[in-house]
Structure 1
Amino acid sequence: MAGKAASVPSTYSPSPTQKKKPTIFKDVDWVRPDGRGFHQCRPAFLRTSAVNAASGSAYVEFGNTKVIVSVFGPRESKKAMLYSDVGRLNCNVSYTTFATPIRGQGSDHKEFSSMLHKALEGAIILETFPKTTVDVFALVLECGGSDLPVVISCASLALADAGIMMYDLVTAVSVSCLGKNLVIDPISEEESFQDGSLMITCLPSRNEVTQLTLTGEWSTPKIHEAMELCLDACSKLGEIMRSCLKEAVSISKE
């Protein structure tokens, strides 16, 4: 009697970690997934005083990217801290567990927290609250692309809502390089296949850049073009943010 053939264990190979750029981004006349023009930002919704318990807060939606920021303070700095004639700024950026398609991935984002601090620190008049600390807590509710620029702009709006003295509002916009094209305010899908990215954080009324972040390989003309796109968008975003604050004040007076 013939014995049963030994079963051969199945084998598998992991998928390549490096994503290949889809054909659509290689075409000259490709269309963005959400139908926008290459130099067109997503529609934005902004609202202040979103958290009653906070000194100031803001909630914003840029397309599918949803962020809420709460500001607490100024509060007295801990005794363990050295005396300072200027105030301190503490920033924290975190993601909810349902912010990304992969559930349960919510966590603090130390890199974003540090970049948020750098973007805001130069705009706040720290001398107006010595020996005290202002806490900024940003929570990404849904990740839809360009998360950090949206967090920075939302945090600036929340600080203004809290009455923190600032030289100007802080706006941030990013551009992705996809093949030969530059696309502003990229969504997650576009960021996944970008050749490089550039983000500018600025004080629009003062025409001052507080932070510039560059990744990937860029030619000098492309950098100049991307910077012009970002600065123009930052200026327009600043106008929208000021209108939001004015509207909030007028409603509170009624």
Structure 2
Amino acid sequence: MAGKRGATPATYSPSLTTAKGKKKPPIFTDDANWVRSDGRHFHQCRPAFLRIATVNSASGSAYAEFGNTKVIVSVFGPRESKKAMMYSDVGRLNCNVSYTTFATPSRGQGSDNKDFSSMLHKALEGAIILESFPKTTVDVFALVLESGGSDLPVIISCASLALADAGIMLYDLVAAVSVSCLGKNLVIDPISEEEVYQEGSFMISCMPSRNEVTQLTVTGEWSTPKISEAMDLCLDACSKLGNIMRSCLKEPLSAPEE
């Protein structure tokens, strides 16, 4: 591996106060003091551990560790598109998501990869200045080393860092955060055990500096108050995660590992 950046885990939990400094009244009060299995409260995210330049053979790369969720992304290109492809005055983006066979005890290597690859492409495409590399292709390969919950948001955020590390021109970094609905409660950045019991999921990927959403995914039945609360939580957390990601890119490389 190359040198490290962003070697200190950083938190990015959404704020529980309003712009005027007043505490936000919780919409759902049942079991308000309940603590999650990993010790977090409902609106507390896992610390984010980020590195870039982790794969020497790639144009750009990044490693992300959010709790037990561990992902590495490699970016190759821009490189000449295959001759079979028709001419295009904008660049092409290819995304592939795969899992190691040991990522989880119950999840096979091929499970959900196609859907995740498509969703990763959708989340990133709107942030990339495709006109900056016409007639060429950028390939993004994401490998989930360990699946600990909220896999796709971690993949998207990590891939965005890898693209920036590769020097691909972006309108902004893409940060992604998800929320699970468990009964009357909303829990942010859910772990695998929570996703198993969730009645609905909500994920946003956005460009924090531009305040633009690149992808919104909702499953299950949601009331208007719940979906509004979920959106506020995710956007606030995305903004803070975006700051951590930018800090990771600005930190100097440490000495290469032996």
TM-score by length of 2: 0.85
Structure 1 Cα separation of the partners of residues 49 and 159 of structure 2 = 14
Q: Give 1:30 shift.
A: 2.9
* Matching residue of 1:225: 229
Structure 1 Cα separation of the partners of residues 33 and 47 of structure 2 = 23
* Matching residue of 1:242: 246
Structure 2 Cα separation of the partners of residues 101 and 35 of structure 1 = 23
* Matching residue of 1:15: none
Q: Does 1:186 align with 2:183?
A: no
1:144-159 paired onto structure 2 within 5 Å: 144-159=148-163
Aligned pair count? 225
* Matching residue of 2:139: 135
| SS across alignment from 1:160 | helix
AA of the residue aligned to 1:144: G
1:1-254 paired onto structure 2 within 5 Å: 29-102=33-106, 105-107=108-110, 109-248=113-252, 251=254
Contact 2:61 2:161 in 1 (8 A): yes
AA of the residue aligned to 1:229: L
* RMSD of aligned residue pairs (Cα, Å): 1.4
Structure 1 Cα separation of the partners of residues 191 and 102 of structure 2 = 17
Structure 1 runs, 4 residues or longer, greater than 4 Å off: 26-29
Q: Give 1:29 shift.
A: 4.2
Q: Give 1:44 shift.
A: 1.1
Contact 2:34 2:41 in 1 (8 A): no
Contact 1:74 1:132 in 2 (8 A): yes
Give unmatched runs, 5+ long, in structure 2: 1-29
Residues 6-64 of structure 1 deviation map (CA, whole Å, 9 limit, x = unaligned): xxxxxxxxxxxxxxxxxxxx956432000101101001100000100000000010000
Residues 211-242 of structure 1 deviation map (CA, whole Å, 9 limit, x = unaligned): 10000010001000000000000000000000
Give unmatched runs, 5+ long, in structure 1: 1-25
AA of the residue aligned to 1:208: E
AA of the residue aligned to 1:66: K
Residues 153-181 of structure 1 deviation map (CA, whole Å, 9 limit, x = unaligned): 00000000000000000000000000111
| SS across alignment from 2:219 | strand
Structure 2 Cα separation of the partners of residues 27 and 165 of structure 1 = 46
Identity of aligned residues (%): 84
Q: Give 1:101 shift.
A: 1.4
| SS across alignment from 1:140 | strand
Structure 2 Cα separation of the partners of residues 235 and 100 of structure 1 = 30
Contact 1:48 1:248 in 2 (8 A): no
AA of the residue aligned to 2:226: K
Structure with higher RCO (Cα < 8 A, 6+ apart) = 2
| SS across alignment from 1:74 | strand
Q: Which has the larger radius of gyration?
A: 1
| SS across alignment from 2:117 | helix
